[in-house]
Amino acid sequence: QATCSGFIQFDLTPIQSMAHPPGVPTGLQDKLQFLQQQEEQAESKHTVAPYEVAPWLRSTIDELDMWGNLREIEEKGYTVLTDVAPPAFIEDFCAAAKRVGSGTNKMHADPIFAQAACNRKVHALAEFMCGQQPLLSQFALSIKDQGKPGDPLLPPLHSDQFWVPAPFPEHNQLLTCCWALDGDYTAESGSTHVVPGSHRLRRHPTKNEEKHSRELLEPTSGPRGCVVCWDGSVWHSGGVRTIPGQRIVAHVTYCRIAMRPLERYDGLLPQETISANPLLKQLMGSTTDNFFENTPKRPFSFLSFERLKRISQSTYDKEGFKKELAEYAKEFLKRNPSALKTFMKENMKKLQDRSKL
C-alpha cells in the first residue's frame, strides 16, 4: 500500500497469518517475519515524531531555556522568542532594513541579515519544527505605514505552506520567524494576527473562514527585538498599524531539507562568506552536495542518499554514521577476499607514496 510520503509499505499480514502460504518458501516467510519484527522494534528510531525533541537537540534547548516555547508552539501554533539578540544588534538590523526597503530576496543585501538567519535561538526552533539541518526558504523585509482601524488585513487569512495540498503532513514543513525591529510588537503597531490552534486542522482556511477572519484572529505581541515564530500550517494574517510611524519587520522562513526553498542566492552571497560559516552553509543547502539536482555527469550517490535520508528524519549522527560505514566496510571486505586484496594493495601504495614525501 502507498503511504502519503510516497514510499511503499508491504502488508505482511496475509503471509504471517498462514503457516506455509502457497508459493512462499518457509525460509522466506521466516525472513519476512523477522524483518517485520525488526521494523516494528526500530520504528520509533526511523523518524523523530511531530513535536518530539530529538536527542541531539535537547542540550541546546536546555541551554537556551526554550522548553516553554516548544510547548507553546505545539499548543497554539506560534510562540514568541525573547532575549534573542542584544539591543545594539536590533538597532543595526533595523537600520539595515530601513536602508534596503521592503521586498523578498533580501538575504544578500546586508551582512547582518545572514547573522539574523543564523541566530542560535531561532535556528534551534527551526530544527525543532522543520527537522535536522533545515534550509532557508525566504528572507523578506516588510515596512508598513500607519493605517486606520477597519482597513483590510493584508495579506488575508492564510497558512504559509499554501502550496501544500490538504490534508497537511503531520510533520510541520515551514517555520516563519518575524523579527520586530522598530519597537514593541502589538496590535496597535500592526503585529501579525493568528488563529491559535488552527495548525491542528491541517488544512487551508475556507472562503467563509476568510470572510469571518476578524472573529477568529488574535494579535501576537512582544517587546522590541522579539521574534514571533509560527507553524507553516497555522492560519494568520497581517495586522493594521493604527499608531504613528512605521512597522519594520524581517520575515525569515525555514523549510525542511527535502523542500524546495522559495528563494535562491546562487552567486549573490560571496562564496567565502558561505564557506566561513558552517551554519549558513547548511541553510543555503551547500552541505547536501546538490544531491537533489543529479545530472548524467553527477550520478546518484547511495551514500548521500542514506545520509540525507537520516537528516530528513532528524536521526543523523555524524560520528555514528562513520562507525556504521566502517563496520559495513569491514564486513564487506571479510566476505570478499578479492576486494580485500585490492583494498590492501591500494592502501599499501598510498603509504609508500607518503613515505617518499
pLDDT digits (tens, 9 = 90+) for 188-205: 999 999 999 999 999 999
8 Å CB contact between 253 and 122: no
What is the residue type of 196? P
Return d(Cα 323, Cα 331) in angstroms, integer: 12
Is 20 a member of any domain?
A: no
End-to-end CA distance of the chain: 59
The answer on 339 and 275 residing in a single domain is: no
The answer on 329 and 262 residing in a single domain is: no
Reading the block at residue 175, the C-alpha cell is 517555520
What is the residue type of 192? T
The answer on 94 and 232 residing in a single domain is: yes
CA distances for 93 relative to 85, 249, 276, angstroms: 10, 10, 21
CA distances for 293 relative to 23, 110, 284, 285, 310, angstroms: 42, 29, 14, 11, 18
The answer on 185 and 134 residing in a single domain is: yes
* Bridge partners of residue 78, in order along the sequence: 230
Domain boundary among 239, 259, 284: 284
The answer on 325 and 268 residing in a single domain is: no
Three-state secondary structure call for residue 249: strand
CA triple 52-58-59, angle to 5 deg? 175
The answer on 158 and 245 residing in a single domain is: yes
The answer on 182 and 66 residing in a single domain is: yes
Is 90 a member of any domain?
A: yes
Domain boundary among 233, 259, 284: 284
Return d(Cα 126, Cα 280) in angstroms, integer: 13
Is 43 a member of any domain?
A: no
**DSSP secondary structure letters along 128-147:** HHH-SSPEEEEEEEEEE---
Q: Which CATH number belongs to the domain containing residue 108 in this structure?
A: 2.60.120.620
The answer on 334 and 268 residing in a single domain is: no
Three-state secondary structure call for residue 116: helix
Is 46 a member of any domain?
A: no
Number of domains in the chain: 2
The answer on 204 and 72 residing in a single domain is: yes
Is 145 a member of any domain?
A: yes
The answer on 153 and 108 residing in a single domain is: yes
The answer on 265 and 326 residing in a single domain is: no
The answer on 222 and 143 residing in a single domain is: yes
Is 347 a member of any domain?
A: yes
* Preceding peptide of 22 cis, ω within 30°: no
Is 106 a member of any domain?
A: yes
Find cell 523585509 and name the residue. Answer: 141
8 Å CB contact between 21 and 14: yes
Is 211 a member of any domain?
A: yes
How would you write the pLDDT of the chain (357 residues) with one tens digit per residue?
A: 333 333 223 333 332 333 444 555 555 665 566 556 555 555 545 688 999 999 999 999 999 999 999 999 999 999 999 999 999 999 999 999 999 999 999 999 999 999 999 999 999 999 999 999 999 999 999 999 999 988 988 889 999 998 899 999 999 999 999 999 999 999 999 999 999 999 999 999 999 999 999 999 999 999 999 999 999 999 999 999 999 999 999 999 999 998 999 998 888 888 888 889 999 999 998 765 555 556 666 666 667 778 778 888 888 888 888 888 788 777 777 787 776 677 677 766 665 666 665
pLDDT digits (tens, 9 = 90+) for 260-288: 999 988 888 888 888 899 999 999 987 65
8 Å CB contact between 107 and 136: yes
Return d(Cα 284, Cα 279) in angstroms, integer: 9
CA distances for 1 relative to 4, 7, 36, 42, 143, angstroms: 10, 9, 15, 20, 49
Domain that holds residue 331: 318-355
* Preceding peptide of 169 cis, ω within 30°: no
